[in-house]
Chain A
């Protein structure tokens, strides 16, 4: 009898999670960030409900500071008739022009993303949100449930999480509570790339190496993506062949020097690399338990 490969099993489990979540919620939504994990998540959602459209919209909590290539990619995805996309920007941030230069990376991320996400969920009354987080990303996520209960204030209480046995997920909630669902929980970075390769999933071109204007700042290569980028004294953009392993707000996302311009070259580089993908992200560096703190406050 044919035995399933690890990717087939991961895919089947993720599809089961999608269907279970939809059956157990009133108003689900998929949090979409244009990253590679989001692309995989979207592919799985399309598969789970085929030939129907996924019975939920995509929500992009925007910061206005993403790479231009990410916005182009987003608009292309939204043009698919099977996809409904909602874009939300925290109006308070728009009004005050919150940006990473004047307000610092922590405040910028907190107000645009953490606050913005809470506002968007409340505004649209979503009671369940799919996210692309994986357990292999960070220590505190290794214990995250697939179905994670959040309080009415969107807080994560590590002590109130429900035991998950077999493939039995409890989708019940009290008034005001909501659920975050992570269909990629058991995927690793390798699995994600392998799946992108197998399925030929389109990803934002920033993942591929190309000559891009960058400046070196605090040991990271920051891309000068538009005229809003503020240059320090003596800083001058130079063209280097770089790519991104993770995508976020461009002034806060470090590039790596690379010439890997195809999918297989990226995968080769990833397999040979010795640093983790989150290394390029400013937010994780504050302290060793910082992701856990962010999560308790409602960061995805």
Chain B
């Protein structure tokens, strides 16, 4: 293969270039463990397609002698095991992308490690792959990890599977071994919906059936691995599906041109096509398909283009331009699969950011309905998801978004989850379907509203949210503030952590997940009370920034007053009115804030109170009252608010 190519290069370079300009591209993922010889297989593919340069080869020969596992012979695995740290450990720990090419195709290989803890990497690698090569060691057959890899591949929507039965040299190239493994695998694969399976017996180490048919397997008449990869037809559903263009960027070089840039995520488009913009629902007609190389008569899925429309309608980044006759749905509540990718567990109720297509929005994830054991495919109950866990959850978005189910369109149904503070990508998800209830539950509109009630009470409703360590003096100060306001005739209510935990929240414990849910309920209760016109004094440790921000987000501008009751841990612990610190130190209480659970101090609270003991609780209460007076909470709102 590479030789034929070289002849053409030498004799007619122009013909070679024409040939290669029209190659297609196949992206695939290799799945298998360190022991299955996966790195060896990829190293062999690169080597056989003449992509290993002589200087790399010299390094390979030297490394093979030094750390190789093949007794001084070329150890192909060393070609692909990248980072120095991994090379020393002898395992790959991340997704690496490799490239090789033949006469007919260019290949991008996602190489991901196979062991238990790296679901995250496999899911990442599979998300862009059209095909998966699943490696099985001929001596061991279908293993737990083979099932795990196959499940993940099927979950991520890959439909084409190559079952590469490797290390045939170690079982004497016996056909029966391969036949048995293939039958075993097909039976399992059918259960998870994988049907397009090509089984190829290989020895990556010896090169049998990789690029050339192996002399040791006369009984095998199918294609070589490379032969199959070169010729397999990837029926691209995206090309035949309805037109979708998530808008990335609005192009306005001058007043006369307004174009909408994006990569087509489904279907095809021509000038004159009727389109609908989601979520607004506005319709227009495609005027031009603009590219730097001239206008196009047609553009298809995968192309990056700029559309202009016949009408001046409002379109911005995050919108989807779609076929008017077959537009995507718009919804804000979904059932979905979530793959958790962060060391910090997923916390139900915590606000995260979700990015779907080119649109970002706030999201909360409900407690998982179940999580999937990727080894046995069993469903088990779960309150949270840890690193590398997969669960089925409902999610609730801040705003409605246009979408297609993941099984219909990866780009329109696959999303990532982002932590609001670290900005790290903490998870990924696949939209299964929109929840009906999103359309049916409406906020009950009432005639007597918040402003009307507030006028009656002569105050502006608000939540004064006291946060701080246990023992800092939150409840003491909140109590003093309430007494004072009550004395002046204001309508108040004190929500206290301990009191709520006796009733509304008595089903909750003190794990991180329960703390998040505790604060979420408190925030919702406080919101109702604000709607009722009250000044709510909420006294909760509320250790996590994200939940306090959630509470803030439920209320209007100026209604949420965060008060940091700031006492150093030593001071709070020395007070220890309830004897809790002592218990925590003895290990009788777990997840105690400040001891074995973190407290995230507010970065910019409305009020910061020094509760170290230098200032009395009365003086602190004065400061709070003064703040409320200055900001107009203690005066009636004007008419028409």
* Chain B nearest CB, measured from A90 CB (Å): 28
Which chain A residue has the least Cβ–Cβ distance from B357? A168
B127 touches A165 (CB 8 A): yes
A-contact bits for B417-445, CB 8 A (1 contact / 0 none):
01001111100100000000000000000
Q: B257 to A165, Cβ gap below 8 A?
A: no
In the complex, A252 has a CB within 8 A of chain B: no
**Cβ contact within 8 Å between B98 and A12:** no
Knowing A16-B248, A172-B423, say if A272 contacts B6 (CB, 8 Å).
yes
> Which listed residue, A23, A50, A143, A172, touches B82 by the CB 8 Å rule?
A143
Complex contact A6–B10 (CB within 8 A): no
State A52–B120 Cα separation when bound (angstroms): 39
Given A135-B99, A272-B10, verify A194-B355 contact (CB < 8 Å): no
Q: Is B55 an interface residue (CB 8 A)?
A: yes
* Residues A19 and B268 in contact, CB atoms below 8 Å apart: no
Stretch at the interface among B302-310, B503-511, B557-565: B302-310
Q: How far is the CB of A83 from chain B (nearest CB, A)?
A: 14
> Are B21 and A194 in contact, with the CB atoms below 8 A?
yes
Contact between B249 and A22, CB atoms less than 8 A apart = yes
State in angstroms the CA–CA spacing of A238 and B80 once bound together. Answer: 40
Of A103-111, A203-211, A222-230, A274-282, the segment with at least 4 beta carbons within 8 Å of chain B is: A274-282
- Range for the number of chain A residues in contact with chain B: 35 or more
Q: How far is the CB of B137 from chain A (nearest CB, A)?
A: 24
Please measure, in the bound complex, the distance between the C-alpha atom of A46 and the C-alpha atom of B253, giving whole angstroms. Answer: 13
Interface size on B, residues (CB 8 A): 85
Query: A188 interface residue, CB < 8 Å from B?
Result: yes
In Å, the complex CA distance between A6 and B263 comes to 16
Q: Report chain B residues within 8 Å CB of A6.
A: 23-25, 101, 105-106
Per the bound structure, the CA–CA distance linking A48 and B123 in Å amounts to: 29
**Is the C-beta of B582 less than 8 angstroms from some C-beta in chain A?**
no
Is B261 within 8 A of A47, CB to CB?
no
Q: Which residues of B contact A5 (CB under 8 A)?
A: 21-25
- Of B80, B120, B248, B252, which contacts A163 at CB under 8 A? B120
| Contact between chains at B83 and A140 (CB < 8 Å) | yes
Q: Does B95 contact A (CB under 8 A)?
A: yes
Q: How far is the CA of A50 from the CA of B63 in the complex (A)?
A: 48
Q: A165-B416, A170-B355 are in contact. Are A51 and B425 (CB under 8 A)?
A: no
A7-B21, A264-B17 given; name 20 further pairs at CB < 8 Å.
A4-B24, A5-B21, A5-B22, A6-B105, A12-B302, A140-B83, A140-B84, A142-B96, A158-B85, A160-B424, A162-B425, A165-B127, A166-B127, A167-B128, A168-B416, A186-B97, A190-B20, A190-B101, A267-B13, A272-B10
Selected A-B contacts with CB under 8 Å, 21 pairs:
A1-B239, A6-B25, A6-B106, A16-B248, A16-B262, A23-B358, A48-B304, A51-B259, A51-B290, A52-B253, A143-B83, A143-B94, A162-B425, A174-B423, A265-B13, A267-B13, A274-B54, A275-B53, A275-B55, A289-B87, A292-B84
Binding site for A on B (CB under 8 A): 5-6, 9-10, 13-14, 16-17, 20-25, 53-56, 59, 63, 80-85, 87, 94-99, 101, 105-106, 108, 111, 120-121, 123-124, 127-128, 236, 239-240, 248-249, 251-253, 257, 259, 261-263, 268, 290-293, 298, 300, 302-304, 306, 317, 341, 353, 355, 358, 410-411, 414-416, 418, 421-425, 428
